[in-house]
Structure 1
């Protein structure tokens, strides 16, 4: 509330005394049929600070929004737009408590306001990825979840991860291609086929989400396939398949990869020699990979509620994607997970960002 008052007062200070009187006149004569006017006797001779105090007393959390409406009625469009944008940027106090096993997914995602999107695209046009209009785009996302394995333990709770990620991606405007329990070769084929999808030409971005047991071979991250032994997919191959050469439809468009899986040594998996490295000339840009843990460490999952990494992503994106770019969202997830003391066992979780070649800020603008 203090921030709303401060922003509203700063805006009213841009009005000359004559215009302030017009602003006050609108308040006592009524802003709209659904908004109760403020008594003339309370504000007729009030200064800017007193006017804002009376508005907050009468309208509470809606005081800033009503100030925008009054300015619009006065044809003070620049002031109205600037105030609306600043109010849209203001974050409500966010619950920063660690996510527990009884975490429930938010009922809905906070939608972006048109004024915020317009302001970003106007003021930072050369600094952000420009989205396509909703009516003409075809956003695609790939979601692969391995739950059952022939030899390793099943990933109980991963069904909830799949459900939550599908919900989030759809809420962000993506049509989700979903696969379960794939072998390493099938994962590779699924990513290749996804990269070749013709609808990418009408898209402005993409997400690829892989969730499975994971590990490291040498210094390379792998996702384990459902057959376990000698069955894996190198994470690096995602970047190759989505490169400018192999996926030209996504050139200059942000490509976000999310990996849920441990990154310890695959000591219980028979490892064949790594195939020859891909051609180093393959151009990998406009990509970022967010991984659930640091190299040589484990990722943690609740057997009913799912993986903590996925829970934090869904929670943060649902509440903050309306006015934060993708890197700010990742940073929030990292900050919250770093503080998470898992079940009071002094087990700390720290996801990390890797292979970041994004050249601009990527805003998701949910709902627009």
Structure 2
């Protein structure tokens, strides 16, 4: 009952046109794995009717789906507020192997719940994220001073964008198993404390638009301490540039349906995304690979000159002119090794050390010679060590 009340309160914040757009998404599909509500059920529906229909169709998932639709219609502040309120109302049951950790620090009581374990995978794996401790975090901040990126005070680390292309216009280009990568990456990002904006099956132009829109999320980035952008699709090298293929791509019929990875750096640089100045911007690309500027005056900084493309790190699944392999049942090697290493080591290693361990694992993995992959760091300009501090 309390959760239903929260949903209704959220919908009351929407204007008439915004409510209409909200209903449109419910009827036309929020995501590929969420069944749409029949149009007739929401014809001439008011806010209470919408909530009732969602609860009836989605049961306990109604709140989560409401948050997703709000983000789809760019009501990010309202989505974050609702998500927070829904989490406050969750009843916690203490049972075997579930523990509640209470930290008292500077007169503040903070209750941390272990991150929900990853769903069991087709290979039988079920990962769990090892949590950092407040003591470790305080020690690192004291020891490293200006050599470490200082986390934001809020528990939320920021927003992450996850784009996955699975189904293409030309069936031969479909990426079976990529849905597992999507599920794995979404779980990992949420386990690290990020609010995930998920998009699927986009053209090159649509990828560009989504990354550009993501860079404009002032409220999502202003109070964040970092961000992740993850793009998974087919890839190619075009004119010596890394390109991500859109779902309409065809070598002869539609060769221009691509998104160049370089555009990600442009959209998130200091000019186009000032809210992320001095904050790590982590770009993960899972695909094959066939100076300074003036900052706008409104950016609160002691000086107005900053490097244009600093604080980036881009980790790609393979070196140039090399294919990237994906298992149709367990997902990509690259994504699986990232999850393995991050779950085991992110509580104590900085990001570059995590990437080094992923690279080492992939370089030494047993198997056939031709599918031994070597990930590659590109355009890295982190000026400090970046610790993820999972759970804090």
TM-score (norm 1): 0.66
Q: Do residues 119 (structure 1) and 160 (structure 2) align?
A: no
Q: How many residues align?
A: 252
Deviation at 1:185, TM superposition (A): 0.3
Q: CA deviation at 1:150?
A: 1.1
Give CA deviations for 1:151-173 in whole Å, capped at 9, x if unaligned: 24210000000000000000000
Structure 1 residue corresponding to 2:350, chosen from 316, 319, 325: 325
Task: Name the SS for the 2:371 alignment partner.
Answer: coil
- Contact between 1:105 and 1:164, CA under 8 Å: does it hold in 2? no
Query: Which residue in 2 is equivalent to 1:238?
Result: 264
Which protein, 1 or 2, shows the higher relative CO under an 8 Å CA cutoff with sep ≥ 6? 1
C-alpha distance in 1, partners of 2:207/2:124? Answer: 30
Q: Aligned pair in 2 of structure 1 residues 133, 156: CA closer, same or farther (>3 Å)? A: same
Match of 1:134, SS? coil
1:145 aligned residue: 164
* In structure 1, C-alpha distance between the alignment counterparts of 2:188 and 2:154, rounded to whole Å: 17
Do structure 1's residue 203 and structure 2's residue 228 form an aligned pair?
A: no
Measure, in 2, the Cα distance between the counterparts of 1:158 and 1:288.
23
Counterparts of 2:157 and 2:354, CA distance in 1: 23
Matched-pair contact (CA < 8 Å) for 2:157–2:226:
no
Alpha-carbon contact 2:235-2:242 (below 8 Å) kept: yes
Q: CA deviation at 1:133?
A: 1.9
Distance 1:346 1:216, change over 3 A: closer
Per the alignment, residue 12 of structure 2 pairs with none
Corresponding position: 1:220 with 2:237: no
Task: Quickly say closer, same or farther: Cα 1:261–1:101, change in 2 above 3 A.
Answer: farther
Give the gaps of 5 or more residues in structure 2.
Answer: 1-120, 294-305
Quote how far apart the aligned CAs of 1:126 are: 1.0
Deviation at 1:219, TM superposition (A): 1.0
Q: Does 1:283 align with 2:286?
A: no
**Residue aligning to 1:351:** 375
**Which structure has the greater CA radius of gyration?**
1
State how far apart, in whole Å, the 1-side matches of 2:372 and 2:122 are. Answer: 15
1:270-296 CA-to-partner distances (Å, cap 9, x unmatched) read xxxxxxxxx9x9811100000000000
State how far apart, in whole Å, the 1-side matches of 2:385 and 2:157 are: 21
Alignment partner of 2:149 out of 129, 136, 152: 129
**Two-structure CA RMSD over aligned residues (Å):** 1.9
Q: 1:282 to 1:253 in 2, by over 3 A?
A: closer
Trace 1:334-345 onto structure 2 (pairs within 5 A). Answer: 334-342=359-367, 344-345=368-369
Distance 1:345 1:354, change over 3 A: closer
Q: Report the alpha carbon displacement of residue 347 of structure 1 after superposing the two structures with TM.
A: 2.9
| Alpha-carbon distance between aligned partners in 2 of 1:133 and 1:341, rounded to the nearest angstrom | 42
Seen in structure 2, the aligned counterparts of structure 1 residues 103 and 300 have a Cα distance that, compared at 3 Å, is farther
Distance change in 2, residues 1:249/1:300 (3 Å): same
Which of 175, 190, 198 is residue 170 of structure 1 equivalent to?
Answer: 190
Aligned match for 2:340, one of 306, 315, 319: 315
TM-score of the pair, normalised by structure 2 = 0.62
1:105–1:314 contact (8 Å) kept in structure 2: no
Give the match's secondary structure for 1:124.
helix
Distance of 1:193 and 1:252 partners within structure 2: 20
Tell me the SS of whatever aligns to 2:173.
coil
Q: Hey, which bits of structure 1, 4+ residues long, moved more than 2 A? A: 100-103, 344-347
Counterpart in the other structure of 2:177: 157
